Structure 1
């Protein structure tokens, strides 16, 4: 039988695939070995201009975090069939986008994590932070994904569950992130948390059954946009905000929060750290165990609720520490 050039190329690729742990096809490295160490080794071997790493269907076991601290790197799975699972007693984050040092000394740019699932294996971990009790010595919390001083970075079509800390956390100087089609549940703390993050977009977010809040924002979380958010059955509040300025939420549904739907606050007694100037448009908040929205401090000024439905929240619809903290346009309380 005559073998054509095309068939010869395909055959060569198949032989390479069967005999190696990593292969390269059109500058994409395919990680065959089902460990996060293999993923990390591939990242470390990428050229300075970066590259794309493709993960196969199956479970990749993580005894250490995958640290993507190079620019222009894409880590891509095959959807829910690709699972990164933290090993028993690993006590580590699963993916770190950016530098893993205490405070990142530089930005990391154009990192993408797409089309995969992450299991933090919370039941078989013993520590919230990597290395020991959370402190300056051990600052890395064991999140599903930690995004640290990352600029123009993307997480898309990713599900995180069972993390020992948060599902996905942005921190320490993130800018222009895109978080799209992200689902998170059954984490020890928040489904999604943001700190020192600006000018970023979060869309198609589904957060449920987390042991703390659905979304938590703090420490200069400013000028970010949220679209198409569903938050349900979280064990504290739907959204917790403080030190958060001029963020917008559009098409937001919150239901069955054990405490309040939305909680606006300041840090301790410092009025300069309040949640201020935030806008919520097209909102449904239902069946909260406390208030629909609570503005807990008089410093939480200039917040706006536009086109909201408050339905069967146990302690009422809107509560303010001082009159006029939340401007209402077309809100219905029932």
Structure 2
């Protein structure tokens, strides 16, 4: 690279920057953006760009014009300096057969940096070795990467940055927005031990690993991204990546994994995301607790195998006290469908409520093998009902009861209603009468309140069941047979063959 004294006319103000880098046949040149003076030139693009950046000791901007620039060593960012291209036509390309470690754009221990509007072509099809990263920020703060295309970065995944499009480590208060990180050897975007960053509006597609990956990174916002057709999960949190907000993302068509996968990370909020047509699970909480999963759509996952993976799934040693609320889960009617809409395989105290689980699983809408799970008010879920044991079940027929006068003709033993765990109560009866003009009611009577809780009535009925009614725990109830309309025929009778009281769990 050489520094020259030649001068050319000033740039138009629309192109004014601290330095403007451009290709002049095989020579890369950097002009002073104010007076047009060519201050740096040479065949090595990274060297010319670095010299321009290095000259901006008080900050500024290096503008790279459209063209393809072969990069064989890192472009080294500096604090308060912006590196800006013209768009997809500004290409920083790893040359064929580079086959060596390379961080194309690199910054370490700096702040207030902008990288924008340029394309990094890793050219992985023509590499056989080397650990490469498109944009690598180490201990960088208060900076922005926006509007960049990072694609085809080569790597083997030996480390988290190896084969990753955009990688941050130990960095905070940065914004990655409107970038496209595609077809990289491992990951689209990685946060490694990086907190309080925002990943917004990016496209991560066709990467061989996850689209977006967080490792030991907390308090980040991941919003409005499209992560699709990656081999691994669309969004993947691991290793105590806690207190992150994951909202309004589209995580679809993961080739071998899940829409959103949270492993060993807690207190995250997952809301308003679309997880569709993924190979395995829509949203998976593994060993993760106190997570809010609300307002998401998990549709048509389990594409790798029918009746095998759930729409929303918890597993592992301690997926405890998670809230799964207000989500829509559908199996999408295809050949391969979820086994369950929501599958709680382990954990304690999880709450599954107000979800729309209609047609959500081939086997069932919900499976719960955890402990103390509360499942309530979910569409498509029939609340489990138990038939209580004696003396709730009137198993001995009561026949020949007088029906030519009104009034209670039989009272069963009294029972105290349970104090917890149940929401409502109903009664079912089978009875007949000797005459057609009498009406008999089979009643569940609250002796404490002096009121009928539930009843069925008529001249006769077989397995007629009442609606469910609320009750007061601890009150005393019994079953009674009450003739409400007497027969005009003297000696008329009514027979009650069975009365069953149903208690419904506190699920609806």
Q: Identify the residue that residue 300 of structure 2 maps to in structure 1.
A: 312
Pick one of 236, 253, 264 that aligns with 1:256: 253
- Paired positions, count: 290
Q: Identify the residue that residue 208 of structure 2 maps to in structure 1.
A: 211
Are residues 1:117 and 2:119 paired? Answer: yes
Runs (5+) with no aligned partner, structure 2? 1-6, 12-19, 155-162, 303-308, 331-508
* Cα distance in 2 between the residues matched to 1:307 and 1:29: 57
SS in structure 1 opposite 2:53? helix
Q: Identify the residue that residue 39 of structure 1 maps to in structure 2.
A: 49
Q: Identify the residue that residue 289 of structure 2 maps to in structure 1.
A: 301
SS in structure 2 opposite 1:41? helix
Question: C-alpha displacement at 1:149, in angstroms?
Answer: 0.4
Contact 1:278/1:302 (8 A) holds in 2: yes
Pick one of 224, 228, 252 that aligns with 2:224: 228
Contact 1:187/1:210 (8 A) holds in 2: yes
Pick closer, same or farther for the CA change 1:332–1:54 going to 2, 3 Å: same
Pick closer, same or farther for the CA change 1:239–1:257 going to 2, 3 Å: same
Q: Identify the residue that residue 439 of structure 2 maps to in structure 1.
A: none
Pick one of 165, 168, 178 that aligns with 1:167: 165
Pick one of 275, 283, 294 that aligns with 2:265: 275
1:149-188 equivalence runs, <5 A: 149-164=139-154, 165-171=163-169, 173-188=170-185
Q: Identify the residue that residue 241 of structure 1 maps to in structure 2.
A: 237
Q: TM-score, normalised by structure 2?
A: 0.54
* Cα distance in 2 between the residues matched to 1:48 and 1:11: 24
Q: Identify the residue that residue 137 of structure 1 maps to in structure 2.
A: none
Question: C-alpha displacement at 1:51, in angstroms?
Answer: 2.0
1:187-198 equivalence runs, <5 A: 187-198=184-195
Question: C-alpha displacement at 1:32, in angstroms?
Answer: 7.5
Pick closer, same or farther for the CA change 1:330–1:95 going to 2, 3 Å: same
Pick one of 91, 105, 108 that aligns with 1:95: 105
Q: Identify the residue that residue 144 of structure 1 maps to in structure 2.
A: 134
Question: C-alpha displacement at 1:127, in angstroms?
Answer: 2.9
Are residues 1:55 and 2:64 paired? Answer: yes
Pick closer, same or farther for the CA change 1:33–1:286 going to 2, 3 Å: farther
Question: C-alpha displacement at 1:241, in angstroms?
Answer: 0.9
SS in structure 2 opposite 1:320? strand
Question: C-alpha displacement at 1:326, in angstroms?
Answer: 3.7
Looking at secondary structure, tell me which structure has more helix per residue. 1
Q: Identify the residue that residue 3 of structure 2 maps to in structure 1.
A: none
In our comparison, the structure showing a higher alpha carbon Rg is: 2
Deviates more, 1:81-90 or 1:143-152: 81-90
Q: Identify the residue that residue 83 of structure 1 maps to in structure 2.
A: 91
* Cα distance in 2 between the residues matched to 1:27 and 1:225: 42
What's the Cα RMSD here?
A: 2.4
